[in-house]
Homo-oligomer: A and B are copies of this chain.
Amino acid sequence: MKIEYVPIGYVRSPFREPSGVPIQTRAGNDIEGTVEILEEYAAGLSDLEGFSHIIMLTHMHMCEGYRLKVTPFLDDVKRGVFSTRAPCRPNPIGFHICRLDGVEGSILHIRDLDMIDRTPVLDIKPYIPQGYEREDVRIGWLEGKLDEFLSTYADDRFSRSGSR
Tell which of A11-19, A76-84, A154-162 binds the partner.
A76-84
State the copy count for this chain: 2
A48 to B79 Cα, complex, angstroms: 9
A163 sits at the interface (CB 8 A): no
Contact flags A115-140 to B (C-beta < 8 A → 1, else 0): 00000101111111111111011111
Chain B residues whose C-beta falls within 8 Å of the C-beta of A84 in the assembled complex = 47, 126
| CB proximity of A109 to chain B, nearest CB, Å | 15
A101 sits at the interface (CB 8 A): no
A57 sits at the interface (CB 8 A): yes
Chain B residues whose C-beta falls within 8 Å of the C-beta of A43 in the assembled complex = 68-69, 80
A32 sits at the interface (CB 8 A): no
| CB proximity of A129 to chain B, nearest CB, Å | 6
A83 to B127 Cα, complex, angstroms: 9
| CB proximity of A48 to chain B, nearest CB, Å | 4
| CB proximity of A85 to chain B, nearest CB, Å | 6
Chain B residues whose C-beta falls within 8 Å of the C-beta of A52 in the assembled complex = 134, 136-139
Q: A2-B5, A47-B80, A84-B126 are in contact. List 15 more A-B contacts (CB 8 A).
A: A1-B120, A3-B4, A46-B79, A47-B141, A50-B141, A51-B139, A53-B137, A82-B125, A82-B126, A89-B123, A90-B123, A126-B142, A129-B132, A129-B137, A131-B149
Query: Using a CB–CB distance below 8 Å, which chain A residues touch chain B?
Result: 1-8, 24-26, 41, 43-55, 57, 59, 68-69, 79-85, 89-91, 93, 95, 97, 99, 120, 122-134, 136-143, 146, 149-150
Q: Ordered nearest first, which 3 A-B pairs have the shortest CB separation? A: A50-B140, A46-B80, A47-B83
